[in-house]
Chain A
Amino acid sequence: MGYLLQQLINGITLGMIYGLIAIGYTMVYGIIGMINFAHGELFMIAAFISIISFLVLGLAGIGWVPVALLIVLAATMLLTSVYGWALERVAYRPLRHSPRLAALITAIGMSIFLQNYVQLLQGARIKPLQPVISGGFQFFTDGKFTVTLSYLQILIAVLTVALMLVFTWVINRTALGRSQRACQQDLKMASLVGVNVDRTISLTFVIGASLASVAGLMFLLLYGVIDFFIGFLAGIKAFTAAVLGGIGSIPGAMLGGLLIGLIEALWSAYFTVEYKDVAAFSILVLVLVFRPTGLLGKPDIEKV
């Protein structure tokens, strides 16, 4: 019982990270109908920017954790957004009217490029970080097992919920959100009625990148080690989450992320750790085959 509860807590924490990345996939897919394969690399870049920021702050002697965290968060979101923006501008915008295959291949190329770019600049070795936030509550015990809810997990949950609230407000209430939704419905029509499509798409990438950057920071804090390859698997799992939730649907992405996180945690706990990635991939295949619209996606009737 205690063990299960602990795994649920861990799974939800992990799922929030996947969910934040998945939103980026789902938004970009919703608006320009392509899989931004390099999105996972933005997450990885964010983790690297975070670790560098922590090190620089350490040198500067800023040791008070809340301030340090805020600075790192701001720096990571800002600098990762620049990557998101540049990615769209350089690699995707010229291909907006090209075959989908071309855009996907570009995205794969970009993903390979960014991985190796970071590897060359920062080295291939695993980068460890001292725990920044430690400790937690022990709030439940059933004799054999004590369930711990760490402060870090609370922070991740609070941050995710806060981000989701802000994000929902932006999408539902602001002019940017309106043009974003308009572009999602019909790109051409949106531009005809005066929506600045280029800017909206750019902003979509910036928002996606900044959400992924928060996920990158959380990942770094949670696991304490990163390398240049983390974006690949995290990206695929987040994509699976986006598909599971119904691609194009933002609440779906979060839901899918949470489900993938839970499945992964429970699978590792009760079956085999080695095959946890196989579990994620199998879910992807099963969802695509049996319910291609995902849990919250809209059905799409084949137009002839």
Chain B
Amino acid sequence: MSVPATRAASAENALLSVEHLSIRFGGLVAVDDVSFTATDRQITAIIGPNGAGKTTVFNCLTGFYKPTMGRLALRHPSKGEFLLERMEGFHIAQTAGVARTFQNIRLFPAMSVLENLIVAQHNMLMRASGYTVLGLFGSKVYREAEKEAVDLALYWLDRIGLTNRADDAAGNLAYGAQRRLEIARAMCTRPVMLCLDEPAAGLNPRESGELTRLLMAIRDEERIGVLLIEHHMDVVMGISDHVVVLDYGKKISDGSPQAVRDDPAVIRAYLGEEEDEDLPPEVARDIGEERS
């Protein structure tokens, strides 16, 4: 848990190492000097109360925000190391192999379920279609690539149990199915790291159980790293190999689920102090007025 240990881990086998990441919006410090690592074949969960800066970390990792400071190194198993903070958004998904889902689902609602999965393989198909020119004339290379893409899409359709809805518009799916489809779509980009932003939000217990199994299968069969933001503690504690806790933009704990659960700093962050003195003065005053 100490800083040197983290660095040692990053040097050895970490898939992703985040070092001293800070993000400021104007005067607001959203993320303050956060360092952690994520390994492949492991599920790393980032938890923390609302507004702790979890999604902001994700947005930096996937190139939607530029960090103010810090280093985000991704060690791709076949392509070498990428420094994500220097890459343009779409480039991170294209070359470094980082795929993500969104807190409020972002599918292509008017396109069919199958098309959603094929669009995800755009870059591979684009190269095979000779940047459209060969594709227009139906070259053999493109047809083979398309077959490969279709195979992968069908495989994932089957995995998420949506084969019989393949031709329906993605926007017409039920909420839980949309969540699964978004994960499958991210997987179709053939990532080395999958970042999931609250995948269990809004799911009922049964769907949440299905999701847990899907995530564990992805970890064990696809052998990629999974980074997870989640509020459902049972999901987090059930499947995570490693948990990072953020509060007010700072890392307050990092370790195995059990260690984190017992960490007093975490309990304090979630349940609050027992005494009012630690509350911000204006809040304490408000409560005081109510009580009197």
Contact = CB atoms under 8 A, between A and B. Distances in A.
A binds B: yes
A80 to B, nearest CB: 39
Contacts of B59: 304
B102 A304 contact: yes
B25 interface: yes
A302 B25 contact: no
Chain A interface size, as a band, is under 10
Contacts of B108: none
B195 to A, nearest CB: 12
B25 A301 contact: yes
Contacts of A304: 55, 59, 64, 102
A267 B178 CA distance: 55
Contacts of B64: 302, 304
B6 to A, nearest CB: 27
Interface string B90-102: 0000000000001
Interface string A204-240: 0000000000000000000000000000000000000
B229 to A, nearest CB: 13
A158 B64 CA distance: 48
Nearest to A301: B25
A42 B55 CA distance: 45
Nearest to B56: A304
A304 B25 CA distance: 15
A301 B102 CA distance: 17
A153 B59 CA distance: 53
Nearest to B59: A304
Contacts of B25: 301
Contacts of B55: 304
Interface string A260-304: 000000000000000000000000000000000000000001101
Nearest to A302: B64
Interface of A: 301-302, 304
Identify the 6 closest CB pairs spanning chains A and B, nearest first.
A304-B64, A304-B59, A301-B25, A304-B102, A302-B64, A304-B55
6 contacts: A301-B25, A302-B64, A304-B55, A304-B59, A304-B64, A304-B102
